[in-house]
Amino acid sequence: MSTLELREVVKHYTSEIETVKAVDGVSLTIGPGEFVALYGPSGSGKTTLLLLAAALARPDSGSVHFDGRALTEMSERESALYRRRDLGFVFQSFHLMPHTSALDNATIKLTGDGCTLREGRRRARPWIERVGLGARADHTPEQLSMGERQRIAIARALANEPRLLLADEPTGNLDSKRSREILALMRDICHERAIPGLLVTHDHDAVPLVDRVYALRDGHMADGMDPELVATSS
């Protein structure tokens, strides 16, 4: 079964002025079907943690494992393959292809992995329907609301049937009602497919919708819910 596991991960960024301890000894395990929220103020290392889980950054020490495989040991080609086949990623700013239909947007990872557009559309269509946009599959992002755009992005993240879902502030540009809908959708999908999901957010609406809450501050993990940290993070 799929499990994301970070062990004693340390990642520092050194600039001319100072060394930023983005992540400083964090351990975290997310099991199958678990949808976890990670809170923390700006600069607390949340984003770095996501990049580590996406095999886009290498820790200075510690290890990141997914499904028993060490992401830290992968070659560039292997890690690209990992992102393409195993990973679903949802961005705060959606990063949709402009002027491209919702359905075609959802095919991007499939075509990146050698599908024709036609084949990609066939595989992505159920996901567009799953996120409730079946009737608007031909609309372009410009014709859709913010909430609908994020739904396309979720369909896109899921179209390759990933075994891990990562989300970076997915509700940062949405109002409360849409936020809750989007978060519930992501949680349901993690449960249905029994895959781990990691959500980095500022959004308090997420608290009741996730299985567990972590808070990150200055690179350290505070297990469980810390009301003060959560309150200050928005």
Partner 1 sequence: MTPLLSFANVSKHYHDGGRQIRVLDRISLDIDAGVSVGVLGTRRSGKSTLLRLAAGITLPDSGAIHFRGRDITRMTGRERGRLLRGEVAFVSTADWRAASGESVVDHVATSLGSEGLTMREARRRASRALEHVEIGAGDAEEPMSSLSPAERARVLLARALAHEPLLLIADEPALTPSPSERDAFYALLRESTSERKITLLMSSQEMGALQGTRILMSIASGEVVSTEARGTVVPLPRRFGAERPGQ
Partner 2 sequence: MRRLLNPPIAGVRISMLAHLYGVRLRSHAVQELLAGSGIAVGVALVLGVLVANASLTGTAEQLVHELAGSARLELSARSQQGFDEALTERVRRLPGVAVAAPVLREDIAVIGPRSRQPVELLGVTPAILHLGSFGTGSLGLTSISFGDGLILPASVAEALGAEPNEHVTVLAFGRASAPALNAELKSSPFGALASSPVAVASLATAQRLTGLQGRVTQILITPEHGHETLVARELRALAQGRLDVVGAENELRLLAQAVKPNDQSTTLFAAISVMVGFLLALNAMLLTVPERRRFIADLRLQGYDWRQTAVLLAFQAVVLGLVASGAGIGLGILLSHVFLHRAPTYLTTAFPIANHEQLPLGTIALALGCGVLAVAFASLSPALDLHPGRATDAVFRDQSDGGEVLAPATVLKLAGACVLSLVVITVLVLAVPSLTIVGGTALALATLLVLPSAFAGVAQMLQWAGERVPSSSLIVVVSELRVVTIRTVALAGIAALAVYGSVAIGGARADLLRGLDASFHEYLETAQLWVTTGGNDLTTNSFQAGDSVASIARAPGVASVRVYQGGFLDVGSRRMWVIARPPGDQPTIPASQLLQGNLARATRLLRGGGWATISDGLAEERHLTVGAVLTLPTPSGSAHLRVAAITTNLGWPPGAVILSTADYRRYWETSAPSALEVTLRPGVSQERGRSAIARALAGRPGLAVHTLHERSLQYDANALQGLSALSEISTLLLIAAAVAVAAALSASIWQRRPRLASLKIQGYDSSQLWRALLLESAIVLGVGCAIGATTGIYGHALASRWLRLQTDFPAPFQIGVDRVLFTLVLLAAITLAVIAVPGLAAARTPARASVREGQI
Q: Whole-angstrom Cα distance, residue 233 to residue 217?
A: 10
210 and 167 Cβ atoms separated by less than 8 Å: no
Q: Which amino acid is it at 45?
A: G
**What are the tokens at 21?**
């301890």
Q: Among 28, 37, 108, 198, which residue sits at the site for partner 2 (rule: CB under 8 A)? A: 108
Residue closer to partner 1 (CB basis): 93 or 145: 145
Q: Whole-angstrom Cα distance, residue 110 to residue 29?
A: 28
Residue closer to partner 1 (CB basis): 25 or 41: 41
Stretch that binds partner 2, among 4-12, 118-126, 178-186, 222-230 (CB under 8 A): 118-126
83 and 75 Cβ atoms separated by less than 8 Å: no
Q: Min. distance of Cβ 182 from partner 1 in angstroms?
A: 13
Q: Whole-angstrom Cα distance, residue 62 to residue 8?
A: 5
Secondary structure of residue 214 in the 3-state scheme: strand
110 and 123 Cβ atoms separated by less than 8 Å: yes
| DSSP at 140 | -
Q: Min. distance of Cβ 110 from partner 1 in angstroms?
A: 25
**Partner touching 118 among partner 2, partner 1, none, CB below 5 to 8 Å by kind:** partner 2
**What are the tokens at 39?**
């809170």
**Partner touching 205 among partner 1, partner 2, none, CB below 5 to 8 Å by kind:** partner 1
**What are the tokens at 155?**
């369909």
* Binding region for partner 1 (CB under 8 A): 41-42, 139, 142-146, 148-149, 174-176, 179, 202, 204-205, 207-209, 228, 231-234
Q: Min. distance of Cβ 130 from partner 1 in angstroms?
A: 19
53 and 4 Cβ atoms separated by less than 8 Å: yes
Q: Min. distance of Cβ 176 from partner 1 in angstroms?
A: 5
- Binding to partner 2 by CB under 8 A, coded x per residue (else -) over 151-180, reads -----x---x-------x---x--------
Q: Min. distance of Cβ 44 from partner 2 in angstroms?
A: 14
Phi, psi of 58 (to 5 degrees): -105, 135
Residues that bind partner 2 (CB under 8 A): 47, 50-51, 54, 56-57, 76-77, 80-85, 87, 89, 91-100, 104-105, 107-109, 111-120, 141-142, 149, 156, 160, 168, 172
